[in-house]
Amino acid sequence: MMPERLHKIIAAHGIASRREAERMIADGRVTVNGAAAVTGQTADTDSDSIAIDGRLIAGKSRPVYIALNKPRGYVTTVKDECGRKTVMDLLTDLQERVYPIGRLDINSEGLLLMTNDGDFANSVAHPSFEVVKTYEVHIRGDAVRAAEALMQPVEIDSRWVQAVSSELINITDGGGVIRISVIEGRNRQIRRMCAACGVEVRTLKRAAIGSVKLGSLKSGEWRYLTEKEHRSLVYTSSYE
């Protein structure tokens, strides 16, 4: 792209009007490639990093890979038209813009990966890379029978899916806790698989994605992936 005036770029991103953007620049709130911008300055959004109050709004940013412990009551989207809380509300201290990989529905919790790297997101989400997602599911009903039945194919959205593994880890009053691992990521897949086995999901938590585990990460908190964790997901594809 051709260079444009900074106040026009800021306005085009829907952050402020052109006049308000000019005030931001004059107040020293805008930087270009780390240096304070000046009134009348131009920039190229394809090659220059533009930030307001330290938060990047345009340009190339460093790749970021995050593990978040999503609480119940949050939707897995960047913006929600209904005004509900989104997972982005939990990243207020992160400068880079990221987006969630896959989804956890509003009533589910646990491990959610987020990034600004499209290739990485695809390597985690696409079934051809066979990244195993593991869930701990507290069910109401016959947990012993359900743990066995979950290993059988179930048709969801005209596709046959089944668990990679299904392990009964606890029996509770009226139900139990089953650890279920899958490769596919169909909409509400675990809940629909459990329903097909005649049991009801009481709580659902994603405990791991590949080798990345939720561990001791507290609800609502996030951390950066380690280099080892990132590398393990990038090179998971069975076609390599």
Q: What is the per-residue pLDDT across 12-47, written as a single tens digit (0 to 9) for each? A: 777 888 899 999 999 999 988 778 999 999 988 877
Q: Indicate which CATH number applies to the domain containing 203.
A: 3.30.70.1560
- What does the pLDDT read at residue 239? 33
Instruction: Give domain status of residue 240, yes or no.
Output: no
pTM over 0.85: no
- What does the pLDDT read at residue 61? 61
- 149 in Cβ contact with 143 (< 8 Å): no
Residues 120, 220, single domain; the answer is yes
- What does the pLDDT read at residue 235? 61
Average pLDDT score over residue span 187-192:
91
Alpha helices in the chain (DSSP H): 6-12, 18-26, 118-125, 143-149, 189-196, 227-234
Both tokens of residue 25?
A: 């620049």
Residues 71, 96, single domain; the answer is yes
Average pLDDT score over residue span 172-190:
91
Instruction: Give domain status of residue 102, yes or no.
Output: yes
Expressed as residue numbers, the domain containing 46 is 4-58
- What does the pLDDT read at residue 238? 38
Q: Indicate which CATH number applies to the domain containing 112.
A: 3.30.70.580
Q: What is the per-residue pLDDT across 157-172, written as a single tens digit (0 to 9) for each? A: 888 888 999 999 999 9
Both tokens of residue 159?
A: 């596709």
**Does pLDDT of 137 surpass 80?**
yes
Instruction: Give domain status of residue 110, yes or no.
Output: yes
- What does the pLDDT read at residue 108? 97
Residues 221, 117, single domain; the answer is yes
Mean pLDDT value across the chain: 89
- 163 in Cβ contact with 180 (< 8 Å): yes
Both tokens of residue 51?
A: 């930030």
Mark whether 27 is an active-site residue. no
Structural domains counted in the chain? 3
Cα dihedral 56, 58, 59, 61 sign: positive
Q: Which of 53, 105, 117, 157 is catalytic?
A: 105
